[in-house]
Chains A and B, each alone.
Chain A
């Protein structure tokens, strides 16, 4: 299925640019053109179909659904709905306020907010295509798990007083949900393709550019030695490095792909990816509008530790897969 992109990359790299095949530069440039065309093509198709599914779960509906559940079920449902509810980080504040205001417990709200960016369904589809269903499923399951665990811990810590007071004073208007018909859903999906591709293409290209450089130049033995499965500290280091970096999952995948090709352990690579997506400085700045610094610290710590746990679990599980 991808041979057409392979051919295109051959043509551009070897014929058009006249770079010799088998050289480092050739490898890097080829990887770059192959990956950018393949990923942007797949992305457009996948976003379309996923957006159709998403159109059934607007945040208003999610909020209604969630107010029916309590305790563990609430966390599980919030995490699962986090996967399918469309939401970009600039909407996290209204979603947070909407949830808390309608009486959804703080921890359940966090289960939703944690899983949502980690298991971005677009990224998930890319993981399935690039790494296969086993890794895709593991990533999906662990993203949901991190959300459930993170939310439960935050709930148990009783952090309600570290939410900005005004959040509790808001009483939002009940807003109706418009029922969509098929042509609305298709229009929505088309708009999403345009909107998401125009938002992420640059990240994808930068990600692939870095991936390509790693592909051609990164010393495999060195990386395998420091970030391979045998180094117990590698997962922690990957998460710490990942937090200040901001990217979306889509841009991180090519980097992860290239790193794994160089012998970086799967758990380490995926922890890095989760940390860059779930814990980023811009997201913290946005959340600061509704929660106080102490809760932000708790949030980063809890999610960071969960991601590290998942990384170790992955590295361990891979011994048996």
Chain B
């Protein structure tokens, strides 16, 4: 599974990445976390408000910092 964190590197994006890491370690799912910081790529994914999180290339939650529990649900 691949988790993608979209965001230009602001504080919220870091928080979101941390939540994603926590969710992965708590559920024990095999997942790799990648960060997309390039505005062009963020826009191409159809995201207009950052940060956003995607699973396997599909954007799931955007415009806010998803909580650890929400990410766990996405991983399940």
Given contacts A175-B59, A191-B65, contact A95 B49 (CB under 8 A): yes
- B44 touching A172, Cβ below 8 Å: yes
Given contacts A59-B49, A172-B44, A174-B46, contact A94 B63 (CB under 8 A): no
- B49 touching A175, Cβ below 8 Å: no
- B46 touching A172, Cβ below 8 Å: yes
A195's partner among B8, B12, B40, B43 (CB-CB below 8 A) is: B12
Decide yes or no whether A91 CB sits under 8 A from chain B: yes
Decide yes or no whether A90 CB sits under 8 A from chain B: yes
Write the chain A residue with the least CB distance to B43. A97
- B49 touching A172, Cβ below 8 Å: no
By a CB distance below 8 angstroms, the chain A residues around B48 are 58-60, 63, 91, 94-95, 98
By a CB distance below 8 angstroms, the chain B residues around A290 are 39
A90's partner among B10, B45, B46, B59 (CB-CB below 8 A) is: B10
A residues with CB within 8 A of B:
58-60, 63, 86-87, 90-91, 93-95, 97-98, 101, 166, 170-175, 188, 191, 195, 289-290
Q: How far is the CA of A172 from the CA of B8 in the complex (A)?
A: 17
- A98 touching B43, Cβ below 8 Å: yes
Q: How far is the CA of A97 from the CA of B66 in the complex (A)?
A: 24
Given contacts A60-B48, A90-B50, A98-B48, contact A166 B40 (CB under 8 A): yes
- 25 CB-based A-B contacts, threshold 8 Å: A58-B49, A59-B63, A60-B48, A87-B49, A90-B10, A90-B50, A91-B48, A91-B50, A93-B8, A93-B43, A94-B42, A94-B50, A95-B49, A97-B39, A97-B40, A101-B43, A170-B44, A172-B43, A172-B45, A172-B46, A175-B45, A175-B62, A188-B64, A191-B65, A289-B39
Q: How far is the CA of A93 from the CA of B41 in the complex (A)?
A: 11
